Amino acid sequence: MKYQLPLILFDPDCPLCTRFKQGLEYLDKSLHFESARSEEVYAHFPELIRQNCLDKVHMITSDRRILCGQEVVDELLKTLPGVSKFSWLLDNDQGRKVKDFFYQKVEELREISRKKDEGCDQCPRS
């Protein structure tokens, strides 16, 4: 299978990841998505490590750069139509702190969701 770039790998078993994917699809029709659980994507991009892609969002840009985690957020802020017009607000120390804080909180929510799905006794039940 030939993949269209830019390509974002996401975990379809993670409800938070799936929501972000849906939101990004709404914002930008030029982004393409693939499950980080698909073995085929690792055959096509052998430089990717499956567990790393399941742990953090990965993006392969149009020029085949591989971005991970916060780098993906930074790239999307620069390139998404509508959002890019406001990216200058985050392009200073305070803006970077806000962006880092937001990304860290999303990662924490994702970890809580993962533990909850694994039957963690300490996680809140809905």
Express each pLDDT in 52-94 by its tens digit.
999 889 999 999 999 998 899 888 888 877 666 666 666 777 7
- Residue 64: left (phi > 0), alpha (psi -120 to 50), or beta? left
Say what the pTM is: 0.73
> The tokens 């830019």 sit on which residue?
6
User: Is-contact 6 60, C-beta < 8 A?
Assistant: yes
User: Is-contact 61 68, C-beta < 8 A?
Assistant: no
User: Is-contact 57 35, C-beta < 8 A?
Assistant: no
pLDDT > 90 in the chain, percent: 37
Tokens of residue 54, six digits: 């399941």
